[in-house]
Amino acid sequence: MKRKLFMLGILILVLTVNTGCWNRKELNELAIEVAMGFDKSGDKYRITSQVVDPGEVAAKDGGTGRTPVITYQATADTPFEARRKMTTMSPRKIYSAHIRMVVIGEELARDGIENFLDFLSRDHEHRADFFIVVAKGTSAENVLKILTPQEKIPANELFDSLKTSERAWAPTSGVTLHDLLSDLVSTGKHPVLTGLKVKGSQEIGQSKENVEKIDNPTRLQYIGLGVFKKDKLVGWLNETESKGYNYIMDNVKNTVGVIRCPKGGKAVLEVIRSKAAMKGKVKNGKPEADVEIRIEANVGEVECKNLDLTQTNTIYEMEARAEQKVKEFAEKTIKKAQKKYKADIFGFGEAIRRTDPKFWKTVEKNWDQEFTDLPVNVKVDVKIRRTGTVSQSFLKGLEE
């Protein structure tokens, strides 16, 4: 008995000493990857990794003159092969647990993205909280080579810029890997991804000259939403249509919109709260959908010389004009998805399934066609809460 207890004690001691060290990774042995790009190269995959140069980023006295990030590229039949092939160029193991952005080249997006998404979701190192975007009109490689002015690490600037734009504008949408996979496997909803374009000279953008001027010659700019049908990019929504999509999907947190004043001129409303609800129904054996959007807004700017915000009727008129405008671009977005792309990016199919599962089974396989003729009733309610610190614009005084 004593022998057994002694052996048990030795075993516990050995296990205690060895815990926590068996799979350690030393920082000086890793190359921290912050962004990954996927492109087509013939019938192969070309992967670009944006890796941090720790010596340059941590330097306090102006650095060494090197760029703060390095890109490695490899081409192979599969994404996993291409990743391993990078070891022939990188002196350290590329560690992908801190990725902020994944960029897909437009050519690859149009060809289909399901294969490399399997690689992203399967690898245990990849966290799922990074954003996925499409390089509009260019390759992911070109995007990841652009140096950015405010953040030393371009991937961090892209991540923060998308979060800020999503909160304060509206035509963009931060889509994570989990969101994208959920939409891809759904039979009642197709995915969207935000577009990212290179604005300016590609050659200057990837040199330090780009960050040495007040007015940067080359910038990265988010622009519209890409519409996918299953895993293939089929087209783009413009800025207004992208905003309409986000209103319908209850993604709008804060934004601004311009309306025409009753007697000429224009005013700007700041949306401070927005709430959307979507319902599906089956009426006389036919599917329908209702979308209700409720908006609370403040008056942010007035360029109308004859607008008296102290009058209740004036506020009612502005609310009605705002309701009509939001309804118009929401309906325009729905029509474009129905008639041009034939892709239910809103999830109306999911709404029908939740309402009437039996009916859904009869249209599920042919939903893309059913969606093209789906009646969608859009109702918008706008309430103006505050008019600002002045009741009337000083422009009226100038006119008098």
Any domain includes 371: yes
pLDDT above 90 coverage of the chain, percent: 69
Distance between CA atoms of residues 123 and 250, nearest Å: 32
| CA-closest candidate to residue 102, choices 90, 85, 112, 116 | 116
- Do 174 and 308 lie in a common domain? no
Question: How confident is the model over 44-56, as a mean pLDDT?
Answer: 90
Mode of pairing for the β-strands spanning 266-283 and 286-302? antiparallel
Has residue 355 been placed in a domain? yes
**Which pair of structure tokens corresponds to residue 50?**
């944006």
Are residues 200 and 176 both part of a single domain?
yes
Q: How confident is the model at residue 272 (pLDDT cuts 50, 70, 90)?
A: very high
Task: Please check whether residues 196 and 245 belong to one and the same domain.
Answer: no
283 in any annotated domain:
yes
- In this structure, the answer to whether residues 200 and 278 fall within a common structural domain is no
Q: Work out how many domains the chain is built from and give that number.
A: 2
Q: Which of 237, 270, 286 is the C-terminal boundary of a domain?
A: 237
- 275-321 pLDDT, tens digit per residue, is 999 999 999 999 999 999 999 999 999 988 778 888 899 899 999 99
12 in a domain, yes or no?
no
With vertex at residue 342, the alpha carbon angle to CA 341 and CA 344, rounded to the nearest 5 degrees, is: 105
Residues 275 and 392 in one domain: yes
Instruction: Provide, rounded to the nearest whole percent, the portion of the chain with pLDDT above 70.
Output: 88
Does one domain contain both 62 and 195? Answer: yes
Structure tokens at 107: 């050519």
Q: Does residue 15 belong to any structural domain of this protein? A: no
Same domain? For 156 and 298 the reply is no
**Are residues 247 and 370 both part of a single domain?**
yes
Residue 65 covered by a domain:
yes
Predicted confidence (pLDDT) per residue in 238-247, tens digit: 999 999 999 9
Check whether residue 264 and residue 384 sit in a common domain.
yes
- Considering the domain boundaries, does residue 157 fall inside one? yes
Of 200, 216, 237, the residue that ends a domain is 237
Q: Domain residues for 307? A: 239-400
Task: Tell me the mean pLDDT in the region 47-51.
Answer: 96
pLDDT at position 305, please?
Answer: 73
Same domain flag for 122 and 262:
no
Q: Is residue 21 part of a domain?
A: no
DSSP 116: H
Got the DSSP string for 302-313?
E--TT--TTSHH
Residues 205 and 216 in one domain: yes
Tell me the mean pLDDT in the region 314-341.
Answer: 96
Residues 62 and 79 in one domain: yes
The CATH number for 329's domain is 3.30.300.210
Residue positions counted in the chain: 400
Residue ending a domain, among 206, 237, 268, is: 237
- Rounded to two decimals, the pTM is 0.89
